[in-house]
Amino acid sequence: MKAFFELHHGLPREAPGDAESLAWALEVAGTPARARILDAGCGPGADLAVLRDLRPGAALVGMDLHEPFIARVRADVPEADAVVGDMLAPVGSFDLIWSAGAAYGPGVRTALAAWAGHLRPGGAVAFSDCLWRNPRPAPQARAFWDRDYPGMCDLPGHLSRLEAAGWRVRGARWLGEAAWAAYYGPLSERVAELRPGADSELAAVLDATQAEIDLWRDHGGDYGYYLTVAVPA
């Protein structure tokens, strides 16, 4: 775990995403100018900075369990209330709960069930999750995601899961290549930076990370991050 956080220290993002897709989600959700917005699993705060710029009158809250990420948010986005804590147990209610690539940890249904009680009337949840795009993915892609995210499903399964959990989709779209590049670009540079002199533990993490990036470059059409804006049905 120490090697993982050494690799990720200083990176702008912890999942694919970009300002354009976040702006789209805000419009689809109808998030008002003076909204209260939670970034659940905010990482180092890239999306909080975008939220600040897109909704300058909003009250922003960022939550993450990793204290160094929250310290980064406090330094870079002082307008946000940055909290070390469980993203499934925020305080208060929100007009929008945003979560970029973090719901897979507890599971999408678990996350939505926890967040439902923290939405204001008319509020929405916007989250991204990795889904299969190809029913017959390359064996390398299948092996990686079966190991990293065994609960990953395809788009029909995702929509059925939301309906069964009592949610209605207000809008949804695949994230584009720019969103992946915003994550993997800096991560690839960091791998190269740390490679010289890396000990065995760090070298193993670097090798695994480079293999993940190479997998996306070679077989990224088999899977993708799907951004969903949903409201309780």
Cβ contacts of 198 within 8 Å, gap of 6 or more: 206
All residues at 6 or more sequence positions from 224 whose CB lies less than 8 Å from its CB, including other chains = 130, 131, 133, 174, 175
What's the average model confidence in pLDDT over 118-132? 98
Return the SS3 of 12. coil
The beta strands (E) that lie in the chain are given as 36-40, 59-64, 81-84, 94-100, 119-132, 167-174, 223-232
Which residue, 111, 222, 220, 131, is CA-closest to 172? Answer: 131
Is there a contact between 156 and 208 (Cβ–Cβ < 8 Å)? Answer: no
Question: Quick one: pLDDT at residue 55?
Answer: 97
pLDDT above 90: residue 1: no
Query: Average of pLDDT values for 72-80?
Result: 97
Residues 6+ apart with CB under 8 A from 216: 180, 184
82: CB partners within 8 A, 6+ apart: 42, 45, 48, 61, 62, 70, 73, 74
Contact partners, residue 143, CB within 8 Å, separation at least 6: none
Average pLDDT value for the chain? 97
Report the share of the chain in percent with pLDDT over 70.
100
Q: Are 56 and 85 in contact (CB under 8 A)?
A: no
Q: Could you report the per-residue pLDDT of 85-118, keeping only the tens digit for each?
A: 999 999 999 999 999 999 999 999 999 999 999 9
Tokens of 33: 């100018």
pTM, entire model:
0.96
Give CA–CA dist 112/118, Å, rounded: 10
Task: Give bridge partners of residue 132 from the DSSP assignment.
Answer: 154, 223
Split at pLDDT 50, 70, 90, the class of 204 is very high
**What's the whole-number mean pLDDT along residues 67-95?**
97
Residues above pLDDT 90, as percent of the chain: 100
CB atoms within 10 A of CB 146: 12
Is the per-residue pLDDT at 145 higher than 90? yes
Q: Domains along the chain? A: 14-176+225-232 (3.40.50.150)
Distance CA 223, CA 91 (A): 34
Q: What is the reported pLDDT for 4?
A: 94
Quote the pLDDT of residue 171: 98
Q: The dihedral of CA 207, 209, 215, 218: what is its sign?
A: negative
pLDDT in tens, 149-166: 999 999 999 999 999 999
Q: Is 44's pLDDT higher than 90?
A: yes
At residue 137 the predicted structure's pLDDT band, cuts being 50, 70 and 90, is: very high
Helix, strand, or coil (residue 176) = coil
